Amino acid sequence: MSSQTLREARSFEEVAEKAIPAEEKPAFHLSPRVGWMNDPNGFSWYQGKFHLFYQYYPYATKWGPMHWGHAVTTDFLHWEHCPAALAPDELYDCDGCFSGSAAVLPDGRQLLMYTGVQCERSLYGERIETQTQCLAVGDGCNYEKYEGNPVLTGADLPEGSSIHDFRDPRLLQRQDGTYDCFVGSRPADGSGQILLYHSDDGFHWTFRNVVIKNRNRFGKMWECPDFFELDGKWVLLTSPQDMLPSGFEYHNGNGTLCLIGSYDEEKMVFEEETDHAVDYGIDFYAPQTVLTPDGRRVMIGWMQNWDTVLQHRTVKMSWYGQMSLPRELHVRDGRLFQWPVRELENYRCAGTEFHEESFSGKKSFPGVSGRMADFEVGIAPADGAEIYRSFSIQLAQNEEYHTTLSFHPSENILKIDRKYSGSRRAIIHQRRAQINADQGVLKLRIVLDRYSMEIFVNGGEQVLTAAIFTDLSADGIVFSASGDIKLHGMFYRLDMDRQA
């Protein structure tokens, strides 16, 4: 039985979505049915479809009492909206159904675990949250909250841990049919830690161990953990708040962190061996993964970041927030490699090959333009030439607008700059990444949807993601070089109506 709050959200979204023309939304990146979207939640394979829930506030294009939006897909690119799955309608979650994950019960029903938030106001009106972990059970469309909620509370926390920062449960179904759950938490040192809970049936949970402690190394509180085995290693993805920069690896504010190492399942301890950022662009946060039936580990992230959300004041919109392209993951040499899901290639139209043996200055190529595209480009110094000084590509370009990707081989810095993308807020518009490029030789794959760009560097070794709100008429792609370069590329427009 659904509550009044959920019924209202469902009827509101059904009517309100009709007022949004499809062309005003991204073509193949998931955006909210209406209103606001943040983190991906409950990314899972259930009854023949991939399900993706998301942090959702249907009534405005800003964050509000969190609901769970819901969409399904079979190819990660064509999404079908389903009615909102959860609303903040119980005392223990009356101030929000925060992020969480999904698993399957032995009887075939889907189990959702999420963070319930209940607030009090301090004397000064400050919001003081109590966060607990809660369950809902459903059939892939309708979900019933568990009568035993909340199933994990402050009483289940190790000593000194905060009841205000205890969130984002990540369920993991074990081979023997039991369940583990990894939750982000803030210990007494004020930073982050990941807690492990265990359950035989999915409903009764006990604390097992602190799997890893941040010890104030990577930011403070660790949000949205995901934990999985891949290519013989264990990978912990988390999104730390309050990061400090470290060279070009991490930037200030909300960041993403990938720790790769080993997991001692008996001792329940994760030992990290390497660490790096998940994304080096401007807009990426809170990723989650799913294991596909054909054995791929696929990650999706919120293609926005808390430090850049003010951007929405630049445009009048009835929706705000997008998910990244789902990306296939691999671990190689202590790094996480990301590559667009292979399904994207099915929607490439006839390719345009472009190359230039030697050029300096500006260059565009016939047939190489558009705002929905997938292309690869290789750059190197022209034969016999000295190493060039710089190289750049302007995307979503016309006389008024452009977003630029530029590369300086003397320091191996790749920079994304969306200052001229139409933004009217003083938010972050640029980010630099230190990349591997021997003697100015570099390979990029660039995926453009109407309002975003994702740049995969050197076979997915690093990725830079950015959302833009540039008018769709700006669809030029212009290459420039200072010094002689050799360029070779394959360009494809994307047509999502093409028969795969």
Residue from 39, 89, 279, 475 carrying the catalytic annotation: 39
Minimum CB separation of residue 131 from ligand FRU in Å reads: 8
Nearer to ligand FRU, 136 or 494 (CB): 136
- Applying CB under 6 A, among 167, 170, 186, 220 the residue interacting with ligand FRU is 167
Distance CA 233, CA 231 (A): 6
Residue 41 or residue 404: which is nearer to ligand FRU going by CB? 41
CA distance 218 to 202: 31
| 38 is a site residue for ligand FRU (CB under 6 A) | yes
**Contacts with ligand FRU in 54-73 (CB under 6 A)?**
55, 66
Does residue 363 contact residue 378 with C-beta atoms inside 8 Å? no
**CA-CA distance, 109 to 430, in Å (whole number)?**
45
Q: How far is the CB of 36 from ligand FRU (least distance, A)?
A: 9
Residue in 39, 93, 417, 454 binding ligand FRU, rule: CB under 6 A:
39
Nearer to ligand FRU, 17 or 168 (CB): 168
Closest separation in Å from C-beta 42 to ligand FRU:
12
CA 94 → CA 27, 336, 454, 462, distances in Å? 34, 38, 36, 40
* Residue whose CB is less far from ligand FRU, 98 or 280: 98
Contact between 99 and ligand FRU (CB under 6 A)? Answer: yes
Q: Which residues contact 389 (CB under 8 A, 6 or more apart)?
A: 408, 409, 410, 482, 483
- Which amino acid is residue 373, in one-letter code? A
Q: Which helix (H) or strand (E) holds 185?
A: strand 179-185
Closer to ligand FRU by Cβ: residue 133 or 403: 133
Candidates 98, 166, 320, 469: give the one binding ligand FRU (CB under 6 A): 98
Q: Report how far residue 188's alpha carbon sits from residue 191's, in angstroms, rounded to the nearest whole number.
A: 8
**Is 89 an active-site residue?**
no
Specify which residues 479 forms β-bridges with: 363, 393
Q: Are the C-beta atoms of 31 and 23 separated by less than 8 Å?
A: no
Sign of CA dihedral 246, 247, 253, 257: negative
Q: Is residue 211 within 8 Å of 189, Cβ to Cβ? A: no
List 6, 181, 224, 444, residue binding ligand FRU (CB under 6 A):
224
> Any bridge partners for residue 226, and if so which?
237
How far, in Å, CA of 358 to CA of 486, rounded?
5
- Listed residue (70, 71, 86) closest to 143, CA to CA: 86
**Minimum CB–partner distance for residue 80 and ligand FRU (Å):** 23
Nearest-approach distance from CB 85 to ligand FRU, in angstroms: 15
Tell me, by CB under 6 A, how many residues bind ligand FRU: 13
For residue 352, the minimal CB distance to ligand FRU (Å) is 39
Q: Is 322:339 a contact under the CB 8 Å cutoff? A: no
DSSP 388: P
| Contacting residue, 115, 118, 256, 304, with ligand FRU by CB under 6 A | 115
373 binds ligand FRU (CB under 6 A): no
Q: According to CB under 6 A, which residues from 246 to 285 bind ligand FRU?
A: 285
* Beta carbon of residue 476, minimum distance to ligand FRU (angstroms, whole number): 34
Position with the least CB separation from ligand FRU: 98
The residues of the shown chain that bind ligand FRU, judged by CB under 6 A, are 38-39, 55, 66, 98-99, 115, 167-168, 223-224, 285-286
**Catalytic residue ranges:** 39
